[in-house]
A and B are shown apart, each in its own frame.
Chain A
C-alpha cells in the first residue's frame, strides 16, 4: 500500500489524471469541491513525489496551471490498485 494514496483526495486526483491527458487547477477544484488551499497542499505532495507534472502557461494575463500524471505516477497508482485488489480478495 502506498502511503501517498492513503488520502482520498490524492487518490482521486491521481485517478482523474490517469484517464485525462491533463487537467487544470480549477477543473480539478470544481470536480472535487475543495478549497484552493486544501487542493494545493495535496497537489504539492503528489508533485514532490514526482507522480504528477505541473505546467504553467499564460492565457492573456492569467496563468493557467495544468497537471498531468507522470510515468512514475501511473506506475505507483496501478500498484496501489493492485494492492487494494489483493487485500479485498484476502478478506473474501
Chain B
C-alpha cells in the first residue's frame, strides 16, 4: 500500500516532468546580460554612423551597412545566448536540445522573421524612421509568443519591448535611443533579475 509520502513524491515528480518536458528551462540570465551588452554596443556604433553620415561621400550604402550590422548583431547576441544556455543545461543536467527547444525556436523565429522582412520593406520604401520601433515591436511579440515554452518571466520582457516600440514610433527622432534601451538596458535588467532569482 502506497503511503501519503509516496503520493506527494509522485506529485512533485509529475509537476517537474510536465514542466521539464514542455518548457526550455535552461535560459540563463547571463544570456540576457550578454545580449544587452551587444545591443548597447550596436546602438552606439549605429549612432556613430548616423552622426558621421554627412562627412561621407554618398548615403547609398547606408541601407547595406544597416542590414549587415543588424544581422551581425543578431548572430553575436544569439551565439552568446546559446553558449550560456548550453552551459546552464549542462549544470542542471537537462538536455539542451529537446522538443521544447524546438518549439521555443520555431515560435520565436516566426514573428522575428516577419519583423525582419517588414523592416526590409521599410528600407525599400525609405521609411527608415520606423525601423527601430518595428524591430522593438516585433521582437516583443516574438518573446510573448515564445513565453509558453520557457520561463514565464520572459512575457514581461516581451510586453516591455512592445510598449517601448510604441513609444519609439511616436518620438521617432529618438529611435536609436529607444532601440538601445530596449535591446540593451532591458536585456541587462531582465538578465540580472533572472540570474539572481534562479542561478544564485
Interface residues, chain A, CB within 8 Å of chain B? 1, 6, 8, 11-12, 15-16, 18-20, 23, 27, 30-31, 81, 84, 87-88, 91
Given known A-B contacts A20-B99, A30-B95, A15 and B18 have beta carbons under 8 A apart: yes
Q: Is A88 in contact with B17, judged by CB distance below 8 angstroms?
A: no
Q: How far is the CA of A1 from the CA of B13 in the complex (A)?
A: 17
Chain A residues lying within 8 Å of B8, measured Cβ to Cβ, are 88
Q: A18-B18, A87-B4 are in contact. List 4 more A-B contacts (CB 8 A).
A: A19-B21, A23-B99, A84-B7, A88-B7
Interface size on B, residues (CB 8 A): 17
Given known A-B contacts A19-B22, A20-B22, A91-B4, A84 and B13 have beta carbons under 8 A apart: no
Q: How far is the CA of A87 from the CA of B6 in the complex (A)?
A: 12
For the A-B complex, the count of residue pairs with Cβ-Cβ distances under 8 Å equals 47
Sample 5 A-B pairs with CB under 8 A, ordered by A number.
Answer: A8-B9, A16-B17, A19-B21, A27-B98, A31-B17
- Nearest CB of chain B from residue A57's CB, rounded to whole Å: 15
Contact indicator per residue, chain B 9-28, by CB within 8 Å of chain A (1) or not (0): 11101100110111000000
Q: How far is the CA of A44 from the CA of B89 in the complex (A)?
A: 31
Q: How far is the CA of A87 from the CA of B14 in the complex (A)?
A: 17
Chain A's closest residue to B93 (CB) is A33
Chain B residues lying within 8 Å of A19, measured Cβ to Cβ, are 18, 21-22
